[in-house]
A and B are shown apart, each in its own frame.
Chain A
């Protein structure tokens, strides 16, 4: 029999103990030669029962004393794993000097170390990107100046210089976007907005862009979905996903966007699915698509810097949402974004079409 909770194990042990005590009372009769109907024997039973109750209470206390911190550390590990690097546990059981107290403090030391490492790595990335901006800005202008004086033969080379500078600019932009999402949440700019309006606008813009290359973007399902967050961030997240779809759907086909409400245990969520009609990706690439700079083996023609989906995922996570991807049964890749909706009883101000003014 596998009992999965320490608490249950201890309770079970106590039950066994009680049974034993009952047995022992008979054993006592047998051991000390006291007849079963002797009044002293009743006294012994009462005392045994009282002892059993005390033992039970003690065990319960002991069990909770052990399981609470363990659960707390378990929950904290989970939080840490989802990126909440400031998670600590020692405050929950101050002054504990036993093994669990030590475990808690060691957990905190580990969390602090991880936080410091991740923070410094992010800061480095951000600082490097920032520092590269200034020389790149000067380089771009110098290239422009050089072009003015250039002979026709040098002009082709300058095209290349400008093209590469532009590529670097885009990369720096994406790195900074990613670093920024890691660093700040601006609650002051949070507002309640309708996801379906954002989807409408993205679909219209996406369709405009797609038509230039003989592709199309269409909305196959939509409904009103109020969410709380930053419309600009959510927009750029969905935009990145849709543009990714436009890049991978074959000429003459379309990218389908669907927005539906799904009711789950944790409340209602808005679920956006973006599906292209391309070849999908190899199964082993599916879980890795959101990794920065991940390139699908054998596909070299990626236009972006390989950060678009990573940026999108980070923005979705800031909205307490999740992003996943799979090869669609009918072909093509389907990327799904799900975000919690504003609950119905929450007071909302949605009169303003873009929800900007609050």
Chain B
């Protein structure tokens, strides 16, 4: 059973979600306000945390922001339908994914599974791939799931880590947005969904510039490329 924390003030909604997700392999613990939710989330015993943006005491974003200062646990934001800004804001703060509420519960289960696939990759898949990737001064350790730039560790969320993994693995080549959505977000590409671009923007910010140039280049209308020009060997 995967352990999921649901922070949402609607008690009945929480119970229904728990009932639905149980046969899907998730043990859901509902919490009904942000303060208590943050406390539980920081306890560190959950595989994934689901946060509604609209909470009675604090904004869901604030819960996420505070959580992110101390934990990289995967987070799925439940955003208000019709609010593009909320959605992007959530991803910018470091949510792994979002789902507009109300939603079809099948979609919820699918997104949670996609998030967990990222964090709990099967050991077999690790064997066939190199354990470490190094391009220029950036090094990614697949086993320990850590990234360092010139020996200095960089804090990445799971989705940012996988995004960097995918880009580094094809450094110098364009990776299409479709491919990134499929392999990193684990769902079918849907046009007009800018999630992947927001994650890229976050990753860029965290990686910083190299000689005044972005390490990740946008290829308009196609996708992204990790520039390996000037990379030192090793």
A residues neighboring B (CB under 8 Å): 133-134, 136-142, 144-145, 148, 162, 165-166, 169-170, 172-178, 180, 186, 189, 197, 200-206, 208-209, 230, 232-233, 235-236, 239, 243, 353-354, 356-357
Contact = CB atoms under 8 A, between A and B. Distances in A.
A197 B220 CA distance: 8
12 contacts: A133-B81, A133-B101, A141-B17, A141-B20, A169-B103, A178-B82, A180-B82, A203-B221, A204-B191, A204-B222, A232-B85, A233-B85
A202 B13 CA distance: 36
Interface residues of B, number: 35
Contacts of B13: 134, 137-138, 141
A139 to B, nearest CB: 8
Contacts of B83: 176-177, 180
A202 B17 CA distance: 35
Interface string B73-111: 000000011111100100000000000111111100000
B23 interface: yes
Contact of B10 (A138, A236, A354, A356): A138
Contacts of B101: 133, 137
Interface in B181-217: 189, 191-192, 194, 197, 201, 205, 214
A148 B85 contact: no
A172 B104 contact: no
B104 A166 contact: yes
Contacts of A180: 82-83
Q: 7 shortest A-B CB distances, which residue pairs? A: A173-B81, A176-B82, A177-B82, A204-B221, A205-B191, A173-B82, A144-B105
A144 B106 contact: yes
B218 interface: yes
Contacts of A236: 84
B16 interface: yes
B194 to A, nearest CB: 8
Contacts of A133: 80-81, 101-102
Given A208-B189, A230-B85, A354-B201, 11 more contacts: A133-B81, A134-B13, A137-B102, A145-B20, A165-B102, A165-B104, A172-B81, A201-B221, A202-B192, A206-B192, A353-B214
Contacts of A145: 16, 19-20, 105
A141 B15 CA distance: 10
Q: Which of B103, B214, B218 has the most CB of A within 10 A?
A: B103
A239 B193 CA distance: 11
Given A137-B13, A138-B10, A165-B102, A239 B192 contact: yes
A141 B102 CA distance: 9
B220 A200 contact: yes
Given A137-B13, A138-B13, A232-B88, A173 B103 contact: no
B12 interface: yes
B105 A209 contact: no
Contacts of A209: 191-192
Majority secondary structure of chain B interface residues (helix, strand, loop or mixed): mixed
A357 B214 CA distance: 14
Interface string B1-13: 0000000001011
A141 B21 CA distance: 10
Nearest to A166: B104
A209 B189 CA distance: 10
B191 A206 contact: yes
A209 B188 CA distance: 13
A200 B104 contact: no
A232 B88 CA distance: 9
A140 B221 CA distance: 35
A137 B103 contact: yes
Contact of B218 (A141, A162, A208, A353): A353
B151 to A, nearest CB: 26
Which of B81, B83, B201 gathers the greatest number of chain A CB atoms within 10 Å? B81
B81 A140 contact: no
Contacts of B12: 138
B220 A176 contact: no
A356 B91 CA distance: 13
A345 B79 CA distance: 39
Contacts of A142: 16
Given A141-B20, A200-B221, A232 B84 contact: yes
Contact of A144 (B100, B104, B220): B104
A126 to B, nearest CB: 10
Contacts of B178: 208
Nearest to B198: A356
A195 to B, nearest CB: 13
Contacts of B84: 177, 232-233, 236
Contacts of B106: 144
A149 B13 CA distance: 19
B105 A140 contact: yes
Contacts of B197: 354
A186 B85 CA distance: 10
A317 B103 CA distance: 30
Nearest to B19: A145
A140 B102 contact: yes
A148 B105 contact: no
B20 A144 contact: yes
